[in-house]
């Protein structure tokens, strides 16, 4: 973590601090419906304000395609951010650069908060344009990036600006990087990766990187069907990417050479279709009828997986093990997640999870607050698991 500065390294009293936050939250009929990202950003903003900084928050919101489109204005997010900050007033600037932004910043008092209008109203934001970054930088003295969720994108507000102003990681970015470093860069071993989800094709790079870093790769969801098929097992009418069989076999070979054990389901919960209340059966993974599909990992596999997790020190989780949105195909995901949470609470493992479906699945299992760290950053979390350099993180180190 010593590679870049944190809030501990900054003297912010009387300074204007530009904070790249993630205010890209769901809004329905002008009201924020999920405040998780705002709640996670709040500690950084409050700490800066307590230290006497003028706090200016910038963010994207949706995809306005480089045009000023008030359907994508950040203004409706301001009241919810104020609530997340304990009811403290938050001002709003109708632009993110230029006269309107400059006047709003000039009116800000130490300890005060201001939100700038959507960065993506300008095409130069997503082009990582140096001139645009300089216009943003002109509004402040110090830059803090607290938006790990956008760290995989080289945009003006995440990458170019860090080359213009003194730059540091906010508390959320710091926590995210420390958790991921402890889970993958220098983990306590053995490390188990639990990887699920529908398709192997979307997680090829992730799987390829994982097998060289972890001791055990536990597979579930639709992607496990593709690995079963690649191993010569008929998966009936299950979701299966048959054209990815060679890729699956290559991953299995890499894992074997790296000493990484791949764990596939030994039994499965099957049904004729995916809908609530449908008749189900549990069969060995190699006995799925042609007119049935695998929709969850079976009870024998749950016992097996939980026993394997008992022997681990670190768990990295991405993706559900079954079609968890539809009962009863949520049983495996819930059971394994609850077991991982119990191991975490007992101090036996460090558990890190992330990705959109994963967050929803852990929430469904009731354990989202019981893992060591749950990342709300979808794409950035996946690219980290793939072993890629994240521009927004690299920019803080330079």
Where in the sequence numbering do the catalytic residues fall?
37, 199, 356, 379
DSSP letters, 177-208, are: HHHHIIIIIS--SSEEEEE-SS-SGGGHHHHH
- Residue 141 neighbours by CB distance under 10 Å: 16
Element containing residue 316 per DSSP (H, E)? strand 314-318
Whether the Cβ atoms of residue 325 and residue 361 lie closer than 8 Å to each other: no
> Can you read off the two tokens belonging to residue 142?
């110090």
Q: Which of 264, 237, 238, 239 is nearest to 249 (CA)?
A: 264
3-class SS of residue 167:
strand
Distance CA(153)–CA(138), nearest Å, equals 22
| Cβ 115 vs Cβ 81: under 8 Å | yes
What is the distance between the alpha carbons of residues 79 and 391, in angstroms, rounded to a whole number?
31
C-beta separation of 371 from 183 below 8 A: no
List the beta bridge partners of residue 267. Answer: 284
């Amino acid at each position: 973590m010593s590679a870049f500065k944190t809030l501990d390294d900054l003297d912010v009293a009387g300074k204007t601090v530009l904070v790249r936050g993630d205010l890209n939250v769901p809004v329905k009929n002008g009201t924020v419906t999920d405040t998780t990202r705002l709640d996670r950003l709040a500690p950084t903003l409050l700490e800066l304000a307590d230290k006497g900084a003028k706090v200016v928050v910038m963010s994207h919101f949706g995809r306005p395609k480089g045009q000023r489109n008030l359907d994508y204005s950040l203004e409706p997010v301001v009241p919810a951010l104020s609530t997340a900050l304990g009811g403290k007033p938050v001002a709003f600037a109708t632009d993110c650069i230029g006269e309107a932004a400059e006047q709003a910043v000039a009116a800000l008092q130490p300890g005060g908060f201001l939100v700038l209008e959507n960065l993506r109203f300008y095409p130069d934001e997503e082009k990582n344009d140096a001139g645009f970054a300089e216009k943003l930088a002109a509004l402040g003295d110090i830059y803090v990036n607290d938006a790990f969720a956008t760290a995989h994108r080289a945009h003006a507000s995440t990458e170019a600006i860090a080359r213009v102003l003194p730059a540091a990681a906010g508390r959320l970015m710091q926590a995210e990087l420390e958790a991921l470093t402890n889970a993958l860069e220098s983990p306590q071993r053995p490390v188990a990766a639990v990887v699920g989800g529908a398709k192997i094709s979307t997680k090829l790079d992730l799987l390829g990187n994982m097998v060289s870093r972890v001791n055990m790769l536990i597979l579930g969801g639709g992607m496990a069907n593709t690995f079963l098929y690649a191993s010569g097992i008929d998966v009936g009418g299950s979701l299966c990417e048959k054209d990815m069989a060679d890729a699956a076999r290559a991953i299995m070979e890499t894992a074997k050479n790296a000493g990484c054990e791949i764990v596939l389901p030994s039994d499965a919960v099957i049904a004729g279709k995916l809908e609530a209340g449908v008749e189900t059966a549990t069969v060995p993974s190699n006995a799925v009828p042609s007119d049935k599909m695998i929709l969850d990992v079976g009870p024998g596999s749950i016992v097996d997986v939980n026993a394997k997790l008992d022997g681990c020190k670190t768990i990295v989780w991405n993706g559900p093990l079954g079609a968890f949105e539809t009962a009863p195909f949520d049983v495996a995901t819930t059971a394994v997640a609850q077991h991982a949470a119990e191991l975490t609470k007992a101090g036996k493992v460090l558990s890190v999870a992330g990705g959109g479906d994963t967050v929803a699945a852990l929430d469904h299992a009731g354990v989202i607050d019981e893992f060591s760290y749950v990342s709300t950053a979808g794409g950035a979390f996946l690219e980290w698991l793939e072993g890629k350099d994240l521009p927004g993180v690299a920019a803080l180190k330079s």
